């Protein structure tokens, strides 16, 4: 696992964008796994800039998002569909037909999850999966205790995650209780993983993820087992690491 420590959030975002852009240039029809949340916003901003100023071409790129809240329609301002279109997709030349995000209003959620896995396989698998990390070490909505071999499925959100996300909803009561999420096994099938972390609130999670034992109680620790995983953490997020890592 490669750990890159950057000065700040801006630099973390730029280093990540460089990696993503290099892949798109090398393989224009690549398959990206995408995350929502605050962390990848700077990465998306930089990719939009590269599209507008340097013609980075997304027309053949396929994307699969990690997760979506159950019960929120795509047009709901807190849905991950809405988030992705507002913050990224509407600013680039992505083909709508190549965008996949789990559907929070699916009638048969189990069937939908199976379908989602099938679409990933049909697309040839994910080339590069972008991840954020929860303060409790979750990846996507795989909360502590999630099976390390899990596939796309419905999960109950922990109180901590609902608290963390309440800032987007106004109050914790409005945060949905369930989400559809790619599983840890699904994430680990990606050919490459890029986990981003910024800020003090992530310092402990990053320490355990990089230096702790692999455990389902901190799902991100499984990334240690991935043959091509990079963590890009800014100085604050890396502040509890005891080893020396690439600057």
Residues paired with 153 in a beta bridge: 181
Output the six-digit token pair for 4. 């890159």
**Does 39 engage in binding with ligand F6R (CB under 6 A)?**
yes
- Closest residue (Cβ) to ligand F6R? 132
**Does 137 engage in binding with ligand F6R (CB under 6 A)?**
no
**Does 219 engage in binding with ligand F6R (CB under 6 A)?**
no
| CA dist 228 → 11, 13, 35, 128 (Å) | 21, 19, 18, 10
CA 27 to chain centre: 20
**Does 139 engage in binding with ligand F6R (CB under 6 A)?**
yes
Site for ligand F6R in 8-37 (CB under 6 A): 35-37
| CA dist 84 → 90, 92, 129 (Å) | 8, 11, 15
Q: How many residues bind ligand F6R (CB under 6 A)?
A: 13
Closest-CA residue to 181 (of 219, 154, 162): 154
Site for ligand F6R in 50-69 (CB under 6 A): 66-67
| CA dist 132 → 24, 33, 97, 180, 198 (Å) | 20, 11, 25, 16, 9
Residues in contact with ligand F6R, shown as a per-residue x/- string from 106 to 135 under the rule CB under 6 A: --------------------------xxx-
Decide if 136 is catalytic: yes
**Does 143 engage in binding with ligand F6R (CB under 6 A)?**
no
Would you tell me which residues interact with ligand F6R (CB under 6 A)? 35-39, 66-67, 132-134, 138-140
Q: Known catalytic residues?
A: 67, 136, 138, 143
């Amino acid at each position: 696992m490669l750990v890159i420590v950057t000065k700040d959030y801006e630099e973390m975002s730029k280093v990540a964008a460089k990696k993503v852009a290099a892949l798109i240039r090398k393989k224009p029809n690549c398959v990206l796994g995408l995350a929502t949340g605050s962390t990848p916003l700077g990465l998306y901003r930089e990719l939009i800039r590269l599209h507008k100023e340097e013609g980075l071409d997304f027309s053949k790129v396929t994307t699969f998002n990690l997760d979506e809240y159950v019960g929120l329609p795509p047009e709901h301002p807190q849905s991950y569909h809405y988030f992705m279109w507002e913050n990224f997709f509407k600013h680039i030349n992505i083909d709508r037909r190549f965008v996949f995000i789990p559907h929070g209003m699916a009638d048969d959620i189990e069937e939908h999850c199976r379908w989602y896995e099938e679409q990933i396989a049909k697309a040839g698998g994910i080339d590069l999966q972008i991840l954020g990390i929860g303060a409790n070490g979750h990846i996507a909505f795989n909360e502590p205790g999630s099976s390390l071999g899990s596939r796309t499925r419905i999960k109950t959100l922990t109180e901590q995650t609902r608290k963390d996300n309440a800032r987007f909803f106004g109050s914790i009561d409005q945060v949905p209780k369930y989400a559809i999420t790619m599983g840890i096994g699904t994430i680990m099938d990606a050919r490459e993983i890029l986990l981003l972390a910024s800020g003090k609130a992530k310092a402990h999670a990053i320490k355990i993820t990089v230096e702790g034992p692999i455990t389902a109680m901190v799902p991100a620790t499984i990334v240690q087992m991935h043959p091509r995983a990079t963590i890009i953490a800014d100085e604050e997020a890396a502040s509890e690491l005891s080893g020396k890592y690439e600057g």
